[in-house]
Structure 1
Amino acid sequence: MDTVTVTARLDEARTADSRTRDRICDEVAAELLAAEAPPSFEVRSADLRLDPYFMCADRYWRQRFLERPTARTALECARWMSDHVGDGSWGAVAEQWGLGNGFLNRGSVESVDQIAGAVGEAGTGTEAERVAFFLALFHAGKLRANFCFDELHAFLVSSPVSLAANSLRQAPVFLALRSFAAFGSRALTVAYAAELLEQAWSSSERTRHTVDICLNGLAFATPFEEQGELLRSHAEEAVETYPGDHMFHARLATGLHMCGRHDEALASIDTALALLAASPTASLSVLQDQYLTKRDAIQEGRLRAVRDAEHQRRWEQQAAANVQLERSLHTSSVRAVEVVAVFTAAIAFAVGSLQVTLTGKLPLTDRLWLLAAQGAGLALFALLIVGGTWLITRSHQQVNSGGE
């Protein structure tokens, strides 16, 4: 297929509806693959929805990577990009193809030496740095997809491939990948990962892929304190910036779920599913399964939270009832002691008074005084028992009140 024909068909696709555009791009890419001829047109954006030139090139190189997911293919793609992708779009295209094709071909991971061999053929200068950067993204995309956190961190920090990228290693997407690796590693600290996250997130050159990797790292990090809150706050910012991105709504749902805000999480994951249904992504079914699994987890968490709240309420009611019962039993026992003391004093007085009255030989006046003294003594005894019991129980109640 000659360049004029390809250009005419892609220009036709630019004004067509989305289904016709997809069909034309698929057909042109298939014909280029059959002719073993790389696209000869230029790519000026990384828009997978509206730019038929990028869409066609994306399909062409995706198939090339699927047929041979090696650093050699990545080298050929990087060289093609040097000649056919403008400087203004090169970074976005490199991130899309490097990370995306790395994810799609995660089952085929080469050694660092194999990748370094390809970089050695890139020459020198700016083009060589870009080639190294693209190969680094391609390999990092595989390691990220396989959650090889420590291996990914070592590759990004010290491999010859990454070092060959020179200043491009300070790109936000590169810092985000290091943050992702650090959050998942059990050998690195959360503080180190958070510092890298902040550097990538606050960069004025932050891209959509940078945001995605940062949120991905927080979502799959080794659990740490405030993880859910950190993910929620960053995901909310991402949703504000990219309101139509289903992935960021799904990340927000994960953060809200971690924070125990299940109703909000359910709303976010439903939004993600709705946006996904209208997305042209090639991995629709895979992502849909992931989102539905997350939705089930949120539903389960919500039901568990409701059950836990009910159990907590019942436990608190039972605890309050137990305290009330304890107080009632304690008060009853105290009153019983008081009654026994008074009753004992009354019996003692009655017995004593009978003895004095019936068997006494003292004059009446003396017997009356004796009875009065005996009654006063027994009354004082009962009063001391009752008063002492009151003081003891009052102190006990004050201690219990202070503890509550």
Structure 2
Amino acid sequence: MEGNSIIAPLSRVATADSRELDRVCEEVAVSLRAAGTEPPYQLTSANFASDPFLICADRYWRLRFLDRPTVRTAAECARWLQAHGPGREDTIGQTHYTEIEEKWALGYAFITRDSEESPAEIADACGDIVGSADTAYFAALYHAGKLRANFRFDELHGFLESSLLALAAGPHRDGPLFTALRAFAACGSRRLTAEHAADLLDHAWFSPQRTPHTVDICLNALAAAAPFPAQGELLRDRAREAATQWPENHIFVFRLATGLHMCQEHDAALEAVDLALALLPAMGSRGSHKQLQEQYLARRELILEGRLRAAETASHRRRWEEQNATYRKVEAQLNAATSHLITMITVFLAAIAFILSTIQLTYGGDLPLGDRMRLILGEGAVMLGFSGLLILGTHLLLRYRERPEPPKSGPD
């Protein structure tokens, strides 16, 4: 058969040479596309790094989607995968099949996100798709992936909840990936409650059947969500969990950098985004290297800018604290000097008042000497008590003014 002759180079290519492997797979995929022939072989793995047959099939369907980025093409791809994908009779085969299915549906959606189909076009295509839940699921993932890539939260919510194509996915709707997409829509929407979004997100995140793509969408949902308390901390912690489980996944490391940046942990965020950039090239063209690299570099610039602002803010705060401490010291000295001065003035005025008031008693009047002395002593005691109260009140007032202000809380 013509298809078998076209794919012959795949059996001879050296898988250790990544450049040669990439070149041969691309050439075979282009030849199959030109001949109008789908890849005529069975897939046996989900190894996108060194399986020439999987890489070739991936390139072939990439060309098909770039040529016709529609749910009809997604349905055709789903049917081919159902017929030629890894066997699903055991756990390993099912895992490989699911990995390819999710990677293709969401990956092809990302690279064709600029060609969104209208609800009318989706409805028109449903007649050829909804007969199979597996086919409808793949096509629904593809269109939902476009809406997700374009951050069309409310449109994504409407599509997942009411579109005939999404409803035709049947039991797949209860799976963690579908739930993660619903959570993404809810997190970004201003029409849905935060509680509803959090519930969907937790169901997807803690599902025993979650896949790396489920985790990716959950982290993407947290990063793109409408702002809520402790958003950065939640994204940071969950991204760190994902990056620990899949340390070679550059997207998870990038999400960790985003979470750290939101928490203003700039040094750690810079280290994480640099690691994400270092991991990115190993993914090749399949991962849309250029688009992701631009996204990572843009985040890196934001981290550097935030790091610089944080350093400037810290410097300003230190100077302000030093100036405030100096001001408080001078204020305390002035208050102490004022207290002493007021004490002296009070005593001086009291003494004058006492002298003036006792002159009349001393040199005038007909009172006996004993009575005069008692009046003078009584008046002196009153003056002394009044002066003491005045001095004590002044001291307490100035002491209250010297109390330091409580430190202000809030971000630097």
* TM-score, normalised via structure 2 length: 0.87
**Partner AA of 2:165 in structure 1:** V
Q: Which residue of 2 aligns with 1:394?
A: 396
How much does 1:204 deviate?
Answer: 1.7
How much does 1:341 deviate?
Answer: 2.5
Alpha-carbon distance in structure 2 between the residues aligned to 1:342 and 1:131: 99
Q: Which residue of 1 aligns with 2:125?
A: 118
Q: Deviations over 1:148-205 (max 9, x none)?
A: 1000011011110011110011121111111111111000111111111111111122
Instruction: Select which of 114, 129, 132 maps to 1:107.
Output: 114
Residues 3 and 360 of structure 1, relative CA distance in 2, 3 Å threshold: closer
Structure 2: which 5+ residue stretches go unaligned?
A: 89-93, 407-412
Alpha-carbon distance in structure 1 between the residues aligned to 2:243 and 2:13: 30
8 Å contact kept, 1:265–1:298: yes
Residue range with higher mean Cα deviation, 343-352 or 86-95: 343-352
How much does 1:400 deviate?
Answer: 6.5
Residues 378 and 255 of structure 1, relative CA distance in 2, 3 Å threshold: same
Residues 164 and 266 of structure 1, relative CA distance in 2, 3 Å threshold: same
Instruction: Select which of 321, 326, 330 maps to 1:316.
Output: 321
Residues 376 and 38 of structure 1, relative CA distance in 2, 3 Å threshold: same
Q: Which residue of 1 aligns with 2:410?
A: none
Alpha-carbon distance in structure 1 between the residues aligned to 2:14 and 2:125: 36
Alpha-carbon distance in structure 2 between the residues aligned to 1:211 and 1:14: 33
Aligned length: 398
How much does 1:7 deviate?
Answer: 5.1
The yes-or-no answer on 1:289 pairing with 2:294 is yes
**Partner AA of 1:295 in structure 2:** R
Structure 1: which 5+ residue stretches go unaligned?
A: none
Residue pairs, 1:163-182, within 5 angstroms: 163-182=167-186
Secondary structure of 2:117's partner? Answer: coil
Residue range with higher mean Cα deviation, 161-170 or 342-351: 342-351
Residues 340 and 42 of structure 1, relative CA distance in 2, 3 Å threshold: same
Q: Which residue of 2 aligns with 1:331?
A: 336
Residues 348 and 193 of structure 1, relative CA distance in 2, 3 Å threshold: closer
Secondary structure of 1:278's partner? Answer: helix
How much does 1:311 deviate?
Answer: 2.5
Residue range with higher mean Cα deviation, 75-84 or 131-140: 75-84
How much does 1:237 deviate?
Answer: 0.8
Residues 348 and 14 of structure 1, relative CA distance in 2, 3 Å threshold: same
Alpha-carbon distance in structure 2 between the residues aligned to 1:266 and 1:360: 92
How much does 1:222 deviate?
Answer: 0.9
Secondary structure of 1:16's partner? Answer: coil
**Partner AA of 2:102 in structure 1:** E
How much does 1:33 deviate?
Answer: 1.2
The yes-or-no answer on 1:65 pairing with 2:70 is no
How much does 1:402 deviate?
Answer: 9.6
Alpha-carbon distance in structure 2 between the residues aligned to 1:255 and 1:301: 13
Alpha-carbon distance in structure 1 between the residues aligned to 2:115 and 2:16: 37
Q: Which residue of 2 aligns with 1:197?
A: 201
Residue pairs, 1:9-158, within 5 angstroms: 9-13=9-13, 15-86=15-86, 87=88, 88=94, 89-122=96-129, 124=131, 128-158=132-162
Q: Which residue of 1 aligns with 2:409?
A: none
Residues 78 and 119 of structure 1, relative CA distance in 2, 3 Å threshold: farther
The yes-or-no answer on 1:226 pairing with 2:230 is yes
Instruction: Select which of 246, 252, 255 maps to 2:250.
Output: 246
The yes-or-no answer on 1:257 pairing with 2:264 is no
Alpha-carbon distance in structure 1 between the residues aligned to 2:187 and 2:74: 28
Q: Deviations over 1:240-275 (max 9, x none)?
A: 111011111110000011111111111101111111
8 Å contact kept, 2:147–2:156: yes
**Partner AA of 1:389 in structure 2:** I
Alpha-carbon distance in structure 1 between the residues aligned to 2:7 and 2:78: 22
Secondary structure of 2:283's partner? Answer: coil
Alpha-carbon distance in structure 2 between the residues aligned to 1:403 and 1:285: 53
Alpha-carbon distance in structure 1 between the residues aligned to 2:6 and 2:20: 15
**Partner AA of 1:312 in structure 2:** R
Residues 78 and 351 of structure 1, relative CA distance in 2, 3 Å threshold: closer
**Partner AA of 1:175 in structure 2:** T
Secondary structure of 1:38's partner? Answer: coil
Q: Which residue of 1 aligns with 2:91?
A: none
8 Å contact kept, 1:345–1:379: no
Residue range with higher mean Cα deviation, 54-63 or 42-51: 42-51
Q: Which residue of 2 aligns with 1:305?
A: 310
Q: CA RMSD, aligned part only? A: 3.0
How much does 1:290 deviate?
Answer: 1.3
Alpha-carbon distance in structure 1 between the residues aligned to 2:172 and 2:356: 108
Residues 398 and 341 of structure 1, relative CA distance in 2, 3 Å threshold: closer
Q: Deviations over 1:333-356 (max 9, x none)?
A: 332222123223444566788899
